[in-house]
Structure 1
C-alpha cells in the first residue's frame, strides 16, 4: 500500500503554523513512521524529525543508521550524530540544539522522554499532540491497510479455533503466528521492523488476566478460554479476540458470556460520528453495574487502531474524544473473574458516515465458540510442537 507521506508532513506544517511554532520536534517511533514511512530499531539511540513551518524537515539519526534512513519520505536532509553516548560535540543533543537551540517556541510531543526534553535549549518548549491529532482520522489508504490486517486477524482466529483441543498447550497456539508470517512473506513487501504477529491462547482462570503471557507448557481445557490474534502488518494494526469453550459451558459461564455480549451490543449501537467516547464506556459500565458485575471490570470499552495497536481515540471514562467518520476503534467490554476466567471479545471497527463497519468479522456467538474436541490428531501434532519448544 502506498501512503502519501508528503501530504502528512504538509498537514503537520499547517498545524505548526496555526500554533505559531518555530519548529516541532517529533521523537516517538510511531510518529516518525507515520510521517516518513521509515522503519528502524531505536534501541537506546534516539531518532528525531525536526519539522519547520515552511521548509522541508530534517531527520536526525545515529551515524550507523544514516545511509539506511535515506529511505525516509519528504525529508530535506538526513543528519547524524556519532553514537549514544559520545564525546562532546558528537551527541544527539549537540546536533539537535544546533537546529533548534536558537528558536523561540518549540513544540514537542507529550511522550517526549525527560532525558531528551531536559537537554533542549529552545527558549520556550510547549507540548502539543499534533501528530496524534492527525492520526485520529484515517485516510482511504490507511483504512485499506487496516482492512487488510483485519482480514489476517480473522484468519489468525480461524487458525486458533481450528487447532483447539482439550489439553492444547500455549506454545502450540503461539506457534500458529508463524503460519500467518509465512503467508505475508510470500505475498512480498515484507519488512520485519513494521510487522508483528501474535497468536495467544490463555487457559482458565488465567484468561482473567488479559495482558498475561502464558507459559509454554500451560494447557487449555475447561472454562472460558481466551484466544487473541493481534497483528501489525506494513505498519498498521488490528485485533480479533474471542472467548471460547471446549465443550458446553457451565450455566454461570454462559450467563456471564451473555452479559459480555449484551455490553458489546450496547457499545455497537452507539457507534456513529458525534458520539462522545466516554459515553460509550459509561453505557457498558452502567449495564454491568445494573447486573451487579461492576467489580469484574478491569479496563475501558475500547481504543483506537492505526500505526499503533493502542492509540486515540480512547473509549474510556474521562476521555474527551468524540467519534468521527474514518476513525478505527476496538470494541471490547469485558468481565474478569479471578477464580473463573475472562469473558472478552475484541473487534476492529471502522466508524462510517452513519454508523460503523466491522473490519474483523469472525463469528462471536456462544454457539459458534463452543468447540468440539478434536483431540487425537491435534494432540499428535501438538506433541511435536511441544517437544521442539521444550515444553
Structure 2
C-alpha cells in the first residue's frame, strides 16, 4: 500500500501575480519579525483569514477546515488543506505546505514541522478557539505563548501606499455599483433584482481594473421599506413602492480588501417627516467627516456627533458606532477593533489610517419618518486633514429617484 504522508509540498504550476509586490510583503513581514523579536517570539502561528491574507496574500476558503501561516525569523509558510491543491502556493508569498486528512490533526503536524517544539509561540487570541489552543499546546509544547492579536491589528491599521492605492480603487468600484443600483431603482422592481445589478457592475469593473486577480465575495445589501431598519439586513424579494425609503450598500472585495458605499434613497418622493430625519443624519455625516483628522480621538469624535444628535432630539435613534477601519476585512473575517468611532475607543487618528463616517438613525415602523437612514464615506487620514475617496453623491437632490 502506498504510504500516505501527513503533509507534503504540492507546488503545482507557476506562482501567480499577487495583488502587491514582493517588496510590500517583505516589508510587512519585516515589521512583524521586529515585533516578534521585541516580544521574544520564535514562531508566530496565525489562523485568521485577515492575518494570513495580510502577511502572505493568500485568502483561504475555510469550509470547515483550519488554515495557518507560520512565520519564523527565516521562513514564511502557509498551511493549507489538500482540497485546495496547488492554489494556495500559487497565491501566496513564500512557501506552502499541504496537510492531508489521512489522520486527524495533520494540520498541527504540519505546523509543528515549521514552528518546532518547545519554542516561544505567538498566536491570535481573537481567533484561535479553545479547542485549537489546546492542540497548539499539545503539539508544539511551547515554552511560552504570546498573544499577537493587538500588535498585528496595530500594524494592519497603518496602511502602506500600496494599500491606499488599492483602497482608492475599491472605493471607485463601490461608486460604480452605486450608480448601477440607482439606474435599476423603479416602482415594482424587487430588492434582489436591484442588488444583482449593482453586484454585476462591480464585478465587471473589478475584472477590468485587476485582470490578474481572483474574484470572490463582492456583494450588495439593498434594502427597502421596513427592511432598512438594520444595516446588515439581507436582500429579499420585496417589491419597491412609491415613497419607500431605500438603503444602498455596495461592497466590492478585491484580494481580501473591503470597501463600501452606503446611501439613503427614496422612491419617487420623500415625505416631510422623513426628510427632516434624513437631513439631520446628513448634518451629522458632514460634521463627522470634518472631525476626522490627525490628532482627534475616536471617542472625542463620537461624543461630538452624539451632541449633535442630542440637540436634534435624535440621539436615542442611533444604532451603532459612527465608523470603522478598512483593509483586510469582510462580513465574515477581520476587524481592526482599535479603530472604530465609539465612546470606548480612545485611539488617536494618524496619517495612514483609513476610516469610514457612517451615522445611522432607525425610526420604528408606524412612527413619522419610519426607516433606517445611513450615509457612508471612506476617508484617508492625512497630515493636512483627510481625503474623501467616496464620490457617489448623498442627499435628496440626487437620491430621490423616479
TM-score class normalised by the smaller sequence: 0.7 to 0.9
Q: Does 1:189 align with 2:212?
A: yes
Q: Counterparts of 1:220 and 1:358 in 2: how far apart (Å)?
A: 33
Q: Give the equivalent residue in structure 2 for 1:10.
A: 30
1:202 and 1:220 in contact (8 A); partners too = no
How far 1:49 sits from its partner (Å)?
A: 1.2
Deviation at 1:93, TM superposition (A): 2.1
Unaligned runs of 5+ in 2: 1-18
Pick one of 40, 44, 48 that aligns with 2:64: 44
1:187-218 superposed Cα distances (whole Å, 9 cap, x missing partner): 522302xx332233211122112111131244
Deviations 1:50-88 (A, max 9, x none): 112x2122322223435322225442x4223212xx525
Segment drifting more, 64-73 vs 30-39:
64-73
Q: Please point out which of 323, 329, 334 is paired with 2:355.
A: 329
Count of aligned pairs: 365
Give the match for residue 335 of structure 2: 311
Give the corresponding residue for 2:100. Answer: 82
SS in 2 for 1:258: helix
CA distance in structure 2 between the partners assigned to 1:98 and 1:184 by the alignment: 38
Q: Which residue of 2 aligns with 1:59?
A: 78
Q: Which residue of 2 aligns with 1:377?
A: none
TM-score, normalised via structure 1 length: 0.87
Deviates more, 1:59-68 or 1:220-229: 59-68
Given candidates 212, 215, 223, the residue that maps to 2:236 is 215
Per mean C-alpha deviation after superposition, the further-off stretch among 332-341 and 223-232 is: 223-232
2:372 equivalent among 337, 342, 346 = 342
Q: Over residues 292-314 of structure 1, what are the superposed CA-to-partner deviations in whole Å (9 max), with x where a residue is unaligned?
A: 22221111000011121463221
Q: Match for residue 168 of structure 1?
A: 189
What is the alpha-carbon distance in structure 1 between the residues aligned to residue 378 and residue 92 of structure 2?
29
| Candidates 272, 280, 287, aligned match of 1:266 | 287
Offset of residue 182 of structure 1: 2.7
CA offsets 1:224-251 (integer angstroms, 9 cap, x no match): 2111111112332211111011233111
What residue number does 1:102 align with? 117
Structure 1's 22 and 203: CA in aligned 2 closer, same or farther, altered over 3 A?
Answer: same
SS of equivalent to 2:136: coil
**Tell me, which stretches of 5 or more residues in structure 1 are unaligned?**
374-391
2:320 equivalent to 1:276: no
1-structure distance, mates of 2:156, 2:47 = 15
Deviates more, 1:283-292 or 1:170-179: 283-292
* Aligned-partner SS, 1:242: strand
Range 302-311 or range 335-344, more displaced: 302-311
The alignment partner of 1:302 has SS state of coil
Q: CA deviation at 1:284?
A: 1.4
Q: Deviation string for 1:257-297 (max 9, x for gaps)?
A: 11101111221121111211122122212221232222211
Give the TM-score of the pair, scaled to structure 2: 0.85
Distance 2:241 2:130 in 1: 43
Aligned to 1:368: 398
Give the Cα separation in 2 of the matches to 1:99 and 1:190. 29
Q: CA deviation at 1:220?
A: 4.7
Contact 2:358–2:375 under 8 Å retained in 1: yes
C-alpha deviation, 1:185, in angstroms = 2.9
TM-aligned CA distance change 1:78 to 1:234, over 3 Å:
closer
